[in-house]
Structure 1
Amino acid sequence: MAPRRLGLTGSIGAGKSTVAHLLRARGFTVLDADVVAHEISASVEVTQAVEAAFGSQYLKDGALDRSRLAELVFNHPEQRKQLNRIIHPRVRARMTELEREASGEWIVQDIPLLFENGLDAQMDATLLVDAPLELRVARVLARGGLSRDDILKRDAAQLSGSEKRRRASMTLDNDGDLAQLERRLDQVLDALKVRP
């Protein structure tokens, strides 16, 4: 019997990666769309498609120049759609392969753009990790690498928090410490009857 799917998502800085780690610690197989996207992006097929679509200036040493591409796509929605048309179908195909290899009653699919890409329709349940905007911004700034403006642009490129909450089966508020997050996660998993 095919495993059931729990779609995990959250806006930048919400703590989705922390929740994915906690789910792995509880015995769940977690398939990470970001990790798969990085693997896919390193392929010759993708680098050639990106070069054809955007130009060789978006490659660096034969690989995607991620920071330059991010600057382009988070400032130009049409370019972002074009990049997504190159990357997303390949990511979905690989995620499907990985799911076939996995075992367990439930498989977690960690997908940042779960709702934006309509992938929630393929899930048996969805879990949104959320936190107030200023807390999310502070977390990402503490990690380094992005400015406040970069963070806000990436956040604005996704659905609003209220729309994600409306669509999610359950929302996990991550506005406290790790112990509180773990307690809340266990409560949500019990409520959804999700088991590894």
Structure 2
Amino acid sequence: MLKCDFQYQHADFILNVELEMQQQLLGIIGASGSGKSTLLKNIVGLLQPQQGYIQFNDRMLVDTQQKIHVAMHQRKIALIFQNALLFPHMNVQQNLRYAEKLVSKSERKFQFANIVELLELKSLLHRKAHQLSGGEAQRVSIGRALLSSPNLLLLDEPLTGLDSKLKQQILPFLKRMKDELDLPMIYVTHHLEELEYLEAETVQLNQGRLQTVPKFERI
């Protein structure tokens, strides 16, 4: 599925990644500044490694030796950030349809109605982005990412900034996504309890290097 062996350096920080992902959901835990977001940005194409390769399925996305660097918009990888980045002048339905329209009908992996049902967005469709709570906006952001029909979904601390009540509202939706969608996902966080709830196989990122973490062991 996903194979990475690369190095990325910025100033004094060095990220050295050796990763082979075969499971549907991989959890990556680490403290702030450990390189979690940097790792995802290299996979999606926002950053470019100085050396090494990134391969998804049979497609080489990055290979510094062969000078391969597939553009971000051609990778079919979606990245969900900590803050929902919705178009403020559009309502929820328009935000969702915007992503869907970028994909030809023959290549759409998910149907609009199914995503609306999965994330319980029907009552929100005609609201503008500024009328949504933080949790509602993040659900819309997730829905929009899914409707872009990615082959891989990256979640960069999607519950950061939400209070405990809102987190408990969104985690079941993420669990449903894992259970009901045939979509590989990488979920990064510094809260192990989120990965425990999602029953994710987990690795730890520590000072730019990935380390194995025994399942659900407290760190």
Q: Specify which structure has the higher proportion of strand.
A: 2
After TM superposition, the score normalised by the length of structure 2 is: 0.37
